[in-house]
Amino acid sequence: MVGSPLPALRSEYEEIARRLETVTGGAEREAVKREIIAYFKQVDSLIGELSALKEEVRKLVDRFKQVAASTAEASAPEFTGTRPAVHADHIGASTFIEKGWSLISLGDHAGAIQALHKALQLSPGETQAESLLGWAQMLHEDYDDALGTFQKVLMKEPANSLARINVGYICLKKRIFGEAIEHLSKAIRLDNDKKATLYAHFYLGLVYLQREMYEDAQTFFQKTLKLGPNLIEAYYELGRAYWFGGDQDQAKRAWEDGLKANKFNPWGKKCQETLARALQGQEPPRT
């Protein structure tokens, strides 16, 4: 790794500042002016290059997530929130909100939690900061903290379907099935966010699958795939719902469909592996 350019830039700044204090004649002032302009352009150019590199790093993170995606269990709702609009404020909370958003996007959930706590110290009760904090806590698997944070958001915004499905997901992970059904069903009734409606159906399918109510699980997974055919995870879970519900042929077809839908997706590969097990007379995983 190359050392930071900041020490050299800082040293150059100090040198220009010292010269500026002792400048006398017009020619000397003009020379310092040209130097300041050149210095400003140099710094501005570096900022532009670093900003472009930062966006490239985001792409690198996305590629890593695709390679390292876990299929051990149902994943949390994908974080695709809109970048917060940074505005000038006298307390600086918006800067920490934007930083929190960026860190969640990059997968640094612990760093995001720290930044968003700082935002809320500067601006208590700021709903956008609370919502992002809940996401970061949930993705960091701090489920109790996330539950409390999202409940604050829902008290102020009862129609916030994304916050509601996140609560449903957390309740699913904590096996609080009654509350999970309540929140996920409400998100479906609200139907004011396509992503929330999609995940609400999927997680309800998982709730009923875990409760061994296989026909209900099949219904919700089928609806999930109508709403979002690219959620390959739903093919895998639909296959399990059919299998444990006693329809092995339908289960195999579901896994075949998942593989055909996207053979490069980790869940497509999971469908392929599970189908191979089934064809060999083995049971698919219970969890």
How many angstroms separate the CA atoms of 181 and 260, rounded? 31
The reported pLDDT for the residue numbered 49 is 84
Q: Are 205 and 234 in contact (CB under 8 A)?
A: yes
How many angstroms separate the CA atoms of 123 and 117, rounded? 10
Token pair 């409940």 is at which residue? 151
How many angstroms separate the CA atoms of 217 and 231, rounded? 16
How many angstroms separate the CA atoms of 103 and 65, rounded? 14
pLDDT-above-70 percentage for the chain: 89
* Domain 158-220 bears CATH identifier 1.25.40.10: yes
How many angstroms separate the CA atoms of 238 and 215, rounded? 10
Write out the DSSP string of 80-93: -PPPP-----SS-H
The reported pLDDT for the residue numbered 76 is 73
Residue 176: CA atoms inside 13 Å, Cβ hemisphere, count?
14
Q: Are 153 and 133 in contact (CB under 8 A)?
A: no
Residue 252 Cα distances to 68, 203, 260, angstroms: 26, 22, 12
Three-state secondary structure string covering 178-205:
HHHHHHHHHHHHHCCCHHHHHHHHHHHH
**For the chain, what is the radius of gyration of the CA atoms?**
26
What's the distance, Cα to Cα, between the start and end of the chain in Å?
Answer: 43
Q: How confident is the model at residue 1 (pLDDT cuts 50, 70, 90)?
A: very low
Tell me the residue type at 273: E
Q: Are 187 and 197 in contact (CB under 8 A)?
A: yes
Whose CA is closest to 175, among 77, 107, 70, 73? 73
The pLDDT of 74-93, averaged and rounded, is: 63
The reported pLDDT for the residue numbered 85 is 57
Q: Are 272 and 239 in contact (CB under 8 A)?
A: no
More confident residue, 122 or 61: 122
pTM for this prediction? 0.76
**Which range has the worst mean pLDDT, 17-21, 126-130, 151-155, 260-264?**
17-21
More confident residue, 52 or 194: 194
How many angstroms separate the CA atoms of 59 and 137, rounded? 23
pLDDT tens by residue, 147-193: 999 999 999 999 999 999 999 999 999 999 999 999 999 999 999 99
Residue 107: CA atoms inside 13 Å, Cβ hemisphere, count?
12
Q: How confident is the model at residue 81 (pLDDT cuts 50, 70, 90)?
A: low
The pLDDT of 78-92, averaged and rounded, is: 60
